[in-house]
Amino acid sequence: MKFLYVEDKPMNTRVLRLFVEQLWGEDLTSVETAEEGLDLIGKEDFDLVFMDINLPQMSGLEAIRYIKNKLNKTTLPIIVVSAATDTNVIADAYESGCRAFIKKPVNIMNFKDITERVLKTDETIAVA
């Protein structure tokens, strides 16, 4: 499995990396900006992308739109992981094309459940 995490806060990346190692024994590739993320997604094939929203320049949601519309990776599953809790923001996230929205602080069991469902099915999973 190849996972990519686009997140600017090192502590959040550290926690998610440990989660991924603990749950599936997999490695997590991470970048700190949406721009770097797009660059990498253009070059490599990932099985799943975790995306933060509040990023330094381009936002995570703009990045998702770019991935879907410009990079034509329409089937690449993307899970938004964000501390934003505004219903508008959550609605915008689903509209941009993410498959699931995980709220920070991340619950490890919820994270496991949602990630596995996104990988196994094509369904979009409502926010918990």
Partner 1 sequence: MNDIVLSDAKSGSALFQSIWQTVVDGMIVINHLGIIQMVNPATLKVFGYTEEELIGKNVKILMPNRYSSEHDQYLSNFMGGGPNKIIGIGRIVEGETKDGQEISMYLAVSELMVGDQVCFVGILRDLTEKVRAENDILRAKEEAERANMAKSHFLSSMSHELRTPMNTILGFAQLLQVTDENQIKYELYQEAVQHILKSGDHLLNLIDDVLDLSKIEAGIIAVSLEDIDVNEIVDECIDLTKFTATSNNIKVVFKPDNKGKTFIHADRGRVRQSLINLISNGIKYNREDGSVTISFETLDNGFVRIKVTDTGYGIPERQHEKLFIPFDRLGLENSAIEGSGVGLAITQKIVRMMQGDIGFSSTPDGSQFWIDLPAGNINNEMEVTSQEIEGVIGEAGKKMNGRILYIEDNPSNIALLKQIVQKVYPGIVFDSCISAELGLEYIQDHPCDMIFMDINLPGMSGIDAMKCLERLYRDLPPVVAITADVSKLTISKIKKQKFSEMLAKPINLLETVEVLERYL
Q: How many residues does the chain have?
A: 128
18 binds partner 1 (CB under 8 A): yes
Q: How far is the CB of 106 from partner 1 (least distance, A)?
A: 6
Q: Among residues 71, 78, 114, 113, which one has the least CA distance to residue 97? A: 78
Q: Which spans in 1-128 are helix H?
A: 10-24, 34-43, 60-69, 87-96, 108-120
91 binds partner 1 (CB under 8 A): no
Give the residue, chosen from 25, 72, 75, 105, that forms a contact with partner 1 under the rule CB under 8 A: 105
Give the residue, chosen from 39, 47, 54, 95, that forms a contact with partner 1 under the rule CB under 8 A: 54
DSSP state of 18: H
Give the residue, chosen from 29, 40, 59, 103, that forms a contact with partner 1 under the rule CB under 8 A: 103
- The answer to whether 29 and 40 have CB atoms below 8 angstroms apart is yes
86 binds partner 1 (CB under 8 A): yes
Can you tell me which residue has the tokens 């770019």?
66
Binding site for partner 1 (CB under 8 A): 8-12, 14-16, 18-19, 22, 32, 54, 56, 83-86, 103-108
